[in-house]
Structure 1
Amino acid sequence: MKSLPKNVWVLALGLALMMSASSLVVFVGGLVGSELAPSKRLATLPVAAIIVGTAIATVPVALMMKRFGRRTTFLVIIAFTVAISLLAAYSIHIQSFYLFCFSLALIGLSVASLNQFRFAAMESVSVDQVPKAASTVLLGGIAAAFVGPEIAVGGKELLSEPFTGSFILLALLFVFGFIIISFYQNVSVDSKETDAPGRPLSEIIKQPVFWTAVLCAMMGYAVMSFIMTATPVSMHVMDGHSLEDTKWVIQSHIVAMFLPSLFTAWIISKVGIKNMMLTGIGAFAICLIIAYTGHHVGHYWGSLILLGIGWNFLFIGGTTLLPRAYNNNERFKVQALNEFMIFGTQALAALSAGLVVSAVGWENLILITVPLLAIPLGAILFTRKATA
């Protein structure tokens, strides 16, 4: 198979640096929230804020890319995020919980843009290289898994208020990210095809393959976000495990989210998208069993490893499957709808995670996720021929 083009590697390296915003917020958002929030039940609101911001920004970002092109949109949003990261640092410095949440919601615009990297990579390659391009870009998340928590810890004591320096370091990462993404080049496409209006969304969403792609990615993200967002609060605040142990569990989880990307293209070629996504659902099921059975560091670590693997198989499976539902001239509106549904659901999961774990405890939070696994399972079985 021919090598991947420069665009794919530029996007992967950019994601490695800038997706650290998500891992940083997952790690410290609940901890900062526990100190600043007027109520402990609002502790995970900062984490939820970035996800809500991502969900709200998905459609505007897609429209910007259609109007101005991917490269210009990427660069403008990255530059904007440098300023917003500094605003987040300032909000911690003045101890403003709601300004902190607002700044993280604005960083969601950047995350919405970063989530388009996989589509930009897929458009840069031939059809046979689509699974490899998508998984290669997501490999950048492995580095982000370490970079985000490390700059969180490294910047914690830089200034008087804990974690203020962490967001200043994040701003510097986005400066480097801007330089890297400046090497990305827009992909030339058939102007006649892209200028044509294409089918209306009402027709596109009637396809079973569309719903299978969306529901698998959507439920994979919801289950992952629900458990992941609650983990630092349950583990560090409620169970008293150390910050280092909590960092290790979150880092391991994010590595597990992206490390399987080394193999997913090969897995798809050998067993098909359907069987890979079914394996992801199985990983989720085992994750829930481990998480339910105890509160030791090993229980958190093992369950979040499997949580990451399950997410990867469902998300990459859904991403790879989605182009079967649209033509090239329909891609922006379908991708925008896909992203809005995925991250809107993830936002609901993240918003409720802190409330649920505080109100009913870790075990009941785990039980709540069980019925969610039936949704992607049913979608896969219903369209088993289309997902082969």
Structure 2
Amino acid sequence: MPITVWGLAVAQALLMSGNILLVSISALVGQELAVHLALITLPIAFQFLGLIIATLPAAHLMQKLGRKTGFVLGNLVGLLGTWVALQGLIASSLTVFSLGTFLIGIAIGVGQQYRFAALEACAVALHSRAISMVMAGGVLAAIIGPNLAILSQDWHAASPYAGAFYGLFGLYLVALLLIVLLPLPKPSILHVQTEIRSYRALFRQPLLLAAVASGMIGYGVMVLIMTATPLAMNHHQHDFNATAHVIQWHVLGMFVPSFFTGSLIRRFTTRRVILWGCAALLLSVAVNLSGQGFWHYWLGLLLLGVGWNFTFIGATHLLTFSYLPAEKAKVQGINEFLVFTAAALGSLFAGQGLVLLGWAWLNLFAIPWILLVAMLIWRLKEQTPSIAISEQP
């Protein structure tokens, strides 16, 4: 595997550490600072809002200026976001803290292009493995993020959560230096006469529709349940350390499978791996409905992570069969925009949905969406038989 892919995996880990840290503490910060229940998950919603806003511009910017320029700009915004979020915690201002998470969200949105940059750095036969390798960087993030939240509680007197952002600033600084040193693909040169299809024509492809739906719903369901979990655990008298460990194992479930997801795709096809992901998501819901003890949350969130991994990596790989080289930025950009819009809606609905519906109904709400993905992917068996052939080494 090229050194660029390994470097992108490390950069992904550093960037995702910030995402996981925010998941561990943002809902609790919102609960502490919000004046209304509906605003509890506002910081996470702002994080995803920043991510959404960044997706389309990031894809097109990198096509014109190159991956390195785009990733450097993204990391600089992330550094600014950590400082702003810290000021919000010190001032006990939910608005300022949410502005900081918004800027961090922009950085995370730019960083979502790491997996696409990895595709450009290796041969087609290695694509599924390259995607998996970059996503596997999240394993390191699963260790750094929650532990940083726990260990840094006494770093700043103003807030038990403020110290984590000093560490986060350092992580983003290391990521910035890594990107500067890493050999990344040059900007693509497109021929003027190349025809680029409209969004309507692109989405007439059942394959693209299934890939985007898999990414959207897999990510949206994961964020919905994951964001609600710290609040549900707090309601059932679980302490912060227990919550942080549940989130940590959830993130391990999200990223540890990445070491072999690419091999599974090559052996069993993308379609089957996504269907396994849907099954894992349904099992997660079943466990969550069976009780509110620590081990229920632990196993439910672990299965939720595995289900996300299979649906998200599978969707990313499936997406690569749906566009021509000239359409790359357009399709990748709209995919990221739609996927993270679904994630933002999940995060925004999580707090209020938990209060209005309760933990059980919140989980039941996810079932029909998971079944919709399974149906769209299942239909590809007859409509796109070439998928399995295309994935052979």
TM-score band, normalised by the shorter chain? over 0.9
Distance 2:210 2:11 in 1: 29
**Amino acid in structure 1 at the alignment position of 2:240:** L
2:325 counterpart (323, 328, 331): 328
**Residues 1:95 and 2:92 are matched in the alignment:** yes
Q: In percent, how many aligned pairs have the same letter?
A: 35
Residue 300 to residue 35, structure 1, CA distance change in 2 (3 Å): same
Q: Which runs of 5+ in 2 are unaligned?
A: 389-393
SS in 1 for 2:238: coil
**Residues 1:288 and 2:285 are matched in the alignment:** yes
**Which residue in 2 is equivalent to 1:165?**
163
**Which residue in 1 is equivalent to 2:213?**
215
Please say if residues 10 and 183 of structure 1, whose CA atoms lie closer than 8 Å, have aligned partners that are also in contact.
Answer: no
**Amino acid in structure 2 at the alignment position of 1:359:** L
Q: What value does the CA root-mean-square deviation take over the aligned residues? A: 1.5
Q: CA deviation at 1:101?
A: 1.1
Distance 1:262 1:88 in 2: 33
Q: CA deviation at 1:41?
A: 3.5
**Amino acid in structure 2 at the alignment position of 1:39:** H
**Amino acid in structure 1 at the alignment position of 2:103:** L
Alignment of 1:115-126 (within 5 A): 115-126=112-123
Q: CA deviation at 1:128?
A: 0.6
**Which residue in 1 is equivalent to 2:391?**
none
**Residues 1:309 and 2:298 are matched in the alignment:** no
Q: Cα deviation per residue 1:241-296 (whole Å; 9 max; x = unaligned)?
A: 01111111000000100110111111112211111111111111111111001000
**Amino acid in structure 1 at the alignment position of 2:221:** V
1:133 counterpart (116, 130, 133): 130
**Amino acid in structure 2 at the alignment position of 1:112:** G
**Residues 1:233 and 2:235 are matched in the alignment:** no
Select between 188-197 and 96-105 the one with higher mean Cα deviation.
Answer: 188-197
SS in 1 for 2:321: helix
Please say if residues 16 and 140 of structure 1, whose CA atoms lie closer than 8 Å, have aligned partners that are also in contact.
Answer: yes
Residue 336 to residue 190, structure 1, CA distance change in 2 (3 Å): closer
SS in 1 for 2:381: coil
Please say if residues 12 and 137 of structure 1, whose CA atoms lie closer than 8 Å, have aligned partners that are also in contact.
Answer: yes
Distance 1:173 1:80 in 2: 13
Distance 1:91 1:191 in 2: 43
Please say if residues 121 and 185 of structure 2, whose CA atoms lie closer than 8 Å, have aligned partners that are also in contact.
Answer: yes
Distance 1:123 1:228 in 2: 32
TM-score, normalised with respect to structure 2: 0.95
**Which residue in 1 is equivalent to 2:141?**
144
Distance 2:26 2:188 in 1: 44
SS in 1 for 2:269: helix
**Which residue in 2 is equivalent to 1:378?**
375
**Residues 1:339 and 2:336 are matched in the alignment:** yes
Please say if residues 50 and 107 of structure 1, whose CA atoms lie closer than 8 Å, have aligned partners that are also in contact.
Answer: yes
Please say if residues 87 and 103 of structure 1, whose CA atoms lie closer than 8 Å, have aligned partners that are also in contact.
Answer: yes
Alignment of 1:168-317 (within 5 A): 168-188=166-186, 191-193=189-191, 196-236=194-234, 238-317=235-314
Q: CA deviation at 1:184?
A: 2.5
Q: CA deviation at 1:375?
A: 1.5
Q: CA deviation at 1:181?
A: 1.1
Q: Cα deviation per residue 1:109-163 (whole Å; 9 max; x = unaligned)?
A: 1111111100000111111100000000001001111111111122222111221
Q: Which runs of 5+ in 1 are unaligned?
A: none
Q: CA deviation at 1:67?
A: 2.3
Select between 115-124 and 195-204 the one with higher mean Cα deviation.
Answer: 195-204
**Amino acid in structure 2 at the alignment position of 1:200:** S
Alignment of 1:19-98 (within 5 A): 19-98=16-95
Distance 1:188 1:71 in 2: 8
TM-score, normalised with respect to structure 1: 0.96
Residue 194 to residue 363, structure 1, CA distance change in 2 (3 Å): farther
